[in-house]
Structure 1
Amino acid sequence: MLAFLQKVVSVQGRQIVAVVAGSDSNSSGDGLPPSSFTWIGNMHGDETANRELLLRLADGMCGGALAAGDPRWRALQDSTVVRIIPSMNPDGFATRRRNNANNIDLNRNFLVTGAFPYPPPQLAVALSQDQRGQPLHPAAWGWAYEGNSSLQPEAVAVSAYLSAHMPDLSANLHGGSLVANYPLDACDSLGDVAYCPTADEPVPRLLAAAYAAANPGMTGSGSSFVNGSTQGAAWYPVLGSMQDWTYYALQRLQLTLELHSAKDPPPSALPGLWDANVRAMLRLMELAHMGLRGRVVDETTRGSLSANVGVSQPAGVRGTTADASRGGYFFKPMAPGLEYVFVVQPYDPADAGVPYEAITLNVTLGLGSTEDVMRGAGLQGLTVERLLLAVRSNPTTRKL
């Protein structure tokens, strides 16, 4: 097991620490890297309990206590790199203040990156009010007052960390409500309440529902949410969120988990909060494996290649890319019970003039139903792994 710290600095010079636990070795004979998951807590400094949850998770994983008592934890740690950032906003935590030391809401700060498919709202529109003086577009109003700034040091640090390590799945944790929120957080520049499904459906919805299913508070009789989960834009739109930045910039899925109704609960509440979330956290990390994991290499040289990985079935599902600099690795989340048809077009980024045949894959997960995702346990049936041997020739389609 690996555990070490990586440090960057907040506005006021406090360290933002990442703890890395789990396996750092190849998980298969095909040279595939282990699956990876990243947790990010305390983005809002006054939402403190999720920070304590992640500190306990880091201690349990690095110290071996979780794996020692449960074969599911042991299997997870043997096959997964887990990166834990307990506090993204240490300055805000120090003062129990929501925003960072520059009074910027970090979860509304990512719109300035240019990674979104829409521009920031015009300020005149964002600040427009109705006859009662209420914002016409509350999400745009919130961005204008709290997110409209250059990318803050904390956002720079965490976005760079995510970009460098490219988690297969991630989650950022909050307090103030009790629900599993899945992307997208906003549909357009105004961020009005609307439902706008991603091109990865139904996977994001299933991931959120699986977390909620393992958390009794989220699916209890008092919940107003279906399956304890919601799409952010249809509930509480946020412009410039880290969840949406991850979806657009990294082409990866991230959930926003609201884990405690009280933002700063007393220490006496923390053991119960851990008990309510620990199995849900385990299940969500297991689901970082759910999909097609592959490598693309040259058939002759075994050198790593890049590739465009398209999805022709189900219709409308977003593709992904394989990266030669990461060993030709790619990961595409999949839903159970559906046949996926992938069309992989390899290329050598160091020699774009060399043509490769396209490779077609027909893939179905071993899991049979959404119930297996939501109520299941362990890694069995979650993953399909493929080593793709790219043949140099004129472009044709080759079926495996």
Structure 2
Amino acid sequence: MKLLVSVLFISLCFSSSVLPAIARGGIPSSNPTGYGYGTQTGSGRHLFGEDGSQTSVDAQGYMTNSDLEMAIKDFGRRCSNISRVYSIGESVNGVPLWVIEISDKPGEEEPEPAFKYIGNVHGDEPVGRELLMHLANWICDNFLTDPMVTLIVDNVHLHILPSMNPDGFSLRRRGNANNIDLNRDFPDQFFNMNDDVDVRQPETRAIMKWLRKIHFTASASLHGGAVVANYPWDGTQDKRRMYFGCPDDKIFRFLASVYSRSHYNMSLSKEFEGGITNGASWYPIYGGMQDWNYIYGGCLELTLEISDNKWPPANELLTLWEYNKKSMLDLVATVVQTGVHGRILTSDGGKPLPGSIAINGIDYTVKASTAFADYHRLLAPGGRYEVTAIVPGYKSKTTVISLEESGTNVDFIFDPEVDRRWDSISIIWGPRLEVYLLMIVAVFLLFLCRRRTISRLKQRQLAGLKRPVVV
């Protein structure tokens, strides 16, 4: 009995001395045993390999890649009235990267914001792919009966990629078939890495091509190994671990808090205040998808750690779905419930203009769409913002808005091109334009008067040269 107590005591002491396991980064373990641990109180021990992947997992109860493809296609048939299924490319081993789009007009471009969820970025973090299928089916089953679901379907184009890394899932490891961490394979803002298109992984190229085709307003990727909502920046210029906020730090904190507060217990975290964290403050990474989305894709993305255990037993999946369901729905709804939205048009018939939206004090612009010139600028509630619409060749237009709990709509109307030329003249000459125009008219009238006088004098001279005729 004494021996058993001693063993338990030593085990407890040992477990408290090991650092928490980290999901986004895959930082090599500093202890020689290779063990990692969850970040929440009461989490179980997790066994990881030297590359950060779990070497002992129970795949029973999880969908295989074939099962997932079948489930996606079955969903497309069952819920065809508000969805479509398409592929954005293939993995290294040729597995299609299937996407479910959910909208009241799937496949059609509308002046509405688009949101994307991505799961299974790391092959050994499969909870996201399961939860995203639960999300799609929940929306299908509750459209027109659940107000939140109906709001999303009617006002957002939601795109769901359950598995970005199907090869890694099959291999039960973090990286893809080439053993590359896909969350380090994107171009980086601080270091010259991943700049060669031919060297990037096909899964990475597929995501980048996807964002060139669809203008996403916001997005989130689902990971495992912790319970926290992570936001940019993920790295720092000198690689130091420190809080390093991006220009939109305020709205990112708000979005992360929306997810955390709606979650069953994320906001109660003892490690992360409020259940959210700045990536660089947690630990810096480079070549991550989150920062790339914001810088190059014009998309505000969060990295969501949704499970202490990277690969929990399948019988826990329904519980994890219940823990995350409201958070997942609330985050999507946020893209229409906050910020400023509208279109940039001409006054003669409402022709769309290729413009962008800037916010005074925030060094980040949002482009309007090409087809409808609609913009969706997410901003944290409770603030007063100076919003400027910028269109090349036109004088910028600015308005001030106050955001409370909900968002607002503002359309920017620009005068047509013919009036724009007169605006340019007014800018050049200023208030003296009218004086100059009067002077021009006066000189022209004097010219006409002088010309008329000269003409009369010539007529008189010609009349004086005639001789009288005598009969």
Give the TM-score band, short-chain normalised.
0.7 to 0.9
Are 1:281 and 2:328 an aligned pair? yes
Aligned equivalents of 2:318 and 2:352: distance in 1? 46
Are 1:361 and 2:361 an aligned pair? no
* 1:164 pairs with one of 213, 216, 225: 213
Question: SS where residue 19 of structure 1 aligns?
Answer: strand
Residue 388 (structure 1) aligns with: 412
* 2:251 pairs with one of 203, 216, 219: 203
Residue 305 (structure 1) aligns with: 353
Aligned equivalents of 1:283 and 1:308: distance in 2? 27
Deviation of 1:148 after TM superposition, in Å, equals: 12
Amino acid at match of 1:358: S
Are 1:335 and 2:335 an aligned pair? no
Deviation of 1:361 after TM superposition, in Å, equals: 1.5
Residue 110 (structure 1) aligns with: 186
Residues 201, 317 of structure 1: 8 Å contact kept: no
- CA deviation profile, 1:366-400 (whole Å, cap 9, x unmatched): 41xxxxxxxxxxxxx2x222222111423699xxx
Residue 125 (structure 1) aligns with: none
Are 1:48 and 2:126 an aligned pair? yes
Deviation of 1:357 after TM superposition, in Å, equals: 2.7
Residues 219, 228 of structure 1: 8 Å contact kept: yes
Are 1:10 and 2:95 an aligned pair? no
1:66-81 matches, within 5 Å, as: 66-67=142-143, 69-81=145-157
Residue 374 (structure 1) aligns with: none
* Counterparts in 2 of 1:295 and 1:148: CA distance versus 1, 3 Å: closer
Aligned equivalents of 1:339 and 1:331: distance in 2? 17
The more displaced of 32-41 and 241-250 is 32-41
Aligned equivalents of 1:269 and 1:38: distance in 2? 25
* 1:191 pairs with one of 224, 239, 248: 239
- CA deviation profile, 1:188-235 (whole Å, cap 9, x unmatched): 2x5331111111121001110110111122122x53111100011100
Alpha-carbon RMSD: 2.4
Question: SS where residue 54 of structure 1 aligns?
Answer: helix
Residue 39 (structure 2) aligns with: none
Amino acid at match of 1:343: T
Aligned equivalents of 2:130 and 2:105: distance in 1? 25
* 1:218 pairs with one of 263, 266, 278: 266
Deviation of 1:319 after TM superposition, in Å, equals: 2.5
Deviation of 1:55 after TM superposition, in Å, equals: 1.1
Question: SS where residue 83 of structure 2 aligns?
Answer: coil
Aligned equivalents of 1:158 and 1:117: distance in 2? 18
Aligned equivalents of 1:37 and 1:159: distance in 2? 15
Aligned residues: 338
Unmatched 5+ residue regions in structure 2?
1-80, 428-471
Question: SS where residue 198 of structure 1 aligns?
Answer: coil
Deviation of 1:161 after TM superposition, in Å, equals: 1.1
Are 1:322 and 2:368 an aligned pair? yes
* 2:117 pairs with one of 7, 26, 39: 39
* Counterparts in 2 of 1:151 and 1:301: CA distance versus 1, 3 Å: same
Aligned equivalents of 2:198 and 2:397: distance in 1? 44
TM-score, structure 1 length as denominator?
A: 0.79
- CA deviation profile, 1:79-122 (whole Å, cap 9, x unmatched): 111100000001011121110001110000002xxxx432237x
Aligned equivalents of 2:232 and 2:115: distance in 1? 17
Residues 25, 33 of structure 1: 8 Å contact kept: no
Residues 113, 335 of structure 2: 8 Å contact kept: yes
Residues 179, 228 of structure 1: 8 Å contact kept: yes
Amino acid at match of 1:107: N
Deviation of 1:356 after TM superposition, in Å, equals: 2.1
Question: SS where residue 180 of structure 2 aligns?
Answer: coil
Larger radius of gyration: 2
Deviation of 1:278 after TM superposition, in Å, equals: 0.2
- Select the structure with the greater relative contact order (CA < 8 A; seq sep ≥ 6): 1
Aligned equivalents of 2:85 and 2:107: distance in 1? 21
Residues 32, 294 of structure 1: 8 Å contact kept: no
Residues 112, 374 of structure 2: 8 Å contact kept: no
Deviation of 1:303 after TM superposition, in Å, equals: 1.9
* Counterparts in 2 of 1:6 and 1:360: CA distance versus 1, 3 Å: same
Deviation of 1:38 after TM superposition, in Å, equals: 0.3
Question: SS where residue 128 of structure 2 aligns?
Answer: helix
Aligned equivalents of 1:321 and 1:33: distance in 2? 13
Unmatched 5+ residue regions in structure 1?
122-142, 348-354, 368-380
Residues 211, 281 of structure 1: 8 Å contact kept: yes
* Counterparts in 2 of 1:266 and 1:224: CA distance versus 1, 3 Å: same
Aligned equivalents of 1:209 and 1:199: distance in 2? 17
Residue 155 (structure 1) aligns with: 204
Residues 109, 241 of structure 1: 8 Å contact kept: yes
* 1:119 pairs with one of 171, 191, 195: 191
Residues 45, 90 of structure 1: 8 Å contact kept: yes
Residue 83 (structure 1) aligns with: 159
Residues 181, 231 of structure 1: 8 Å contact kept: yes
Question: SS where residue 249 of structure 2 aligns?
Answer: coil
Residue 57 (structure 2) aligns with: none
Deviation of 1:68 after TM superposition, in Å, equals: 5.1
Deviation of 1:69 after TM superposition, in Å, equals: 4.5
